[in-house]
Structure 1
Amino acid sequence: MLREIRPAIVLLLALTAITGLAYPLAMTGIAGVLFPVQAQGSLIEKDGKVIGSALIGQEFKDDKYFHGRPSATVAPDPADSTKTVSAPYNAANSGGSNLGPTSKALADRLKDDVDKVRAENPNAVVPVDLVTTTGSGLDPHISPEAAQFQVPRVAKTRGMSEEAVRQLVGANTEGRLLGLIGEPRVNVLALNLALDRVVK
């Protein structure tokens, strides 16, 4: 019996060491050498201080900044650990709201959000990504249309011309990967940092 079990145990230990330890450590080391910024979380620094990541969205409420997509992430309620509270872009609790198309709560939230966003720019069509969340709740990007929609508010608040702000949006728009994969997008944090460099 032991003669039949021993090869299985040896194989299990060998594969565990190779696939569970050696391979992940080798890939982590290679990634750190070839892609040092990405391997450290694509962190963005300003004045020597880490202010965010290019991969995780942030909540910007001030009118002088572009706003990202809504986030459905939550965190434990400090007053009652059996409940949760809204915690936008909480990377420790990535996920969507799981509300479906027949959900009254979702319909009510969308109506309120559309009305609020439409008040900002009543003559334009509200881009869908300004009122809908992503599956992860952490998306740092918006569509170029969503950024253009916000140009009048940002320009007015900062005392800039709309054309200057539109040029910044264009300069911070990323195209499709290899011209084929994905959609054009704007990283909200990068765009807001570019704005701060022009006008504080």
Structure 2
Amino acid sequence: MLNQLRPALVLLVALTAITGLAYPLAVTGIAGVIFPAKAAGSLIERDGKVVGSSLIGQSFTSDGYFHGRHSATTAPDPADAAKTVPAPYNAANSSGSNLGPTSAALADRVKADVEKLKAENPGQPVPVDLVTTSGSGLDPDISPEAARFQIPRVAKARGVPEDKLAGLLAAQVQGRWLGVLGEPRVNVLALNIALDDLARK
């Protein structure tokens, strides 16, 4: 019996060391050398201080900033650990809302958001990504259409001409990867940082 058990234990220890330690450490080390910024979390710095990551969205609610997608992530309720409370863009609890098309709560929330956005920018179709959540709840990007839809509100709040914001936005649009994969997108944090930089000039 020991003759049969020994090879199995040796194989278990060897594979654990190779696939659980050596391989992850090697990949992490190589990524740190070849792509140091990405391996460190794609952090964005401003005035020497980390203000976020280009991979994780942030909640912007002021009229003077572009807003990202809704986030359905939650966190434990401080008053009752058995319950959760909304915590937008909570990277420790990536999740979608899990509300289906027959959900009254989802329909009511989307309807209210659409009405609010129509009042904000009358006569313009509301981009779908401004009223829906992503599967992860952490999406840092919106479509160029969703960003353009918000230009009148941001321009009014900041007292900046709309055409100037349109030019700023155009410079922030990222195209499809290799020209074919994915969709054009705008990173909301990068766009808002560029917006603040514009105000400094």
TM range, normalised to the smaller chain?
A: over 0.9
Determine the C-alpha separation between the residues in 1 that align with 2:142 and 2:153.
16
Which stretches of structure 1, 4 residues or longer, exceed 4 Å deviation after superposition?
none
| 3-state SS of paired residue (1:138) | coil
AA of the residue aligned to 1:134: S
User: Which shows bigger deviation, 8-17 or 135-144?
Assistant: 8-17
Q: For the residues of structure 1 that align with 2:112 and 2:77, how far apart are their CA atoms?
A: 24
Residues 11-160 of structure 1: pairs in structure 2 closer than 5 A? 11-160=11-160
Q: Tell me the equivalent position of 2:183.
A: 183
1:197 is aligned with what amino acid?
Answer: D
Q: How many residues are aligned here?
A: 200
1:74 Cα offset (Å): 0.6
Q: CA deviation at 1:15?
A: 0.9
What's the TM-score once normalised by structure 2's chain length? 0.98
The whole-number CA distance in structure 1 between the counterparts of 2:9 and 2:85 is 47
Q: Distance in 1 between matches of 2:24 and 2:166?
A: 44
Q: What amino acid is aligned across from residue 163 of structure 2 in structure 1?
A: E
Paired with 2:169 and 2:42, the residues of 1 have a C-alpha distance of 21
Deviation at 1:23, TM superposition (A): 0.4
Normalising by structure 1, report the TM-score: 0.98
How far apart are the structure 2 equivalents of 1:66 and 1:164?
14
Gaps of 5+ in 2: none
Displacement, 1:12? 1.2
Deviation of 1:190 after TM superposition, in Å, equals 0.3
Superposed CA deviations along residues 148-184 of structure 1, whole A, max 9, x for unmatched, are 0001111111111111101111100000000011000
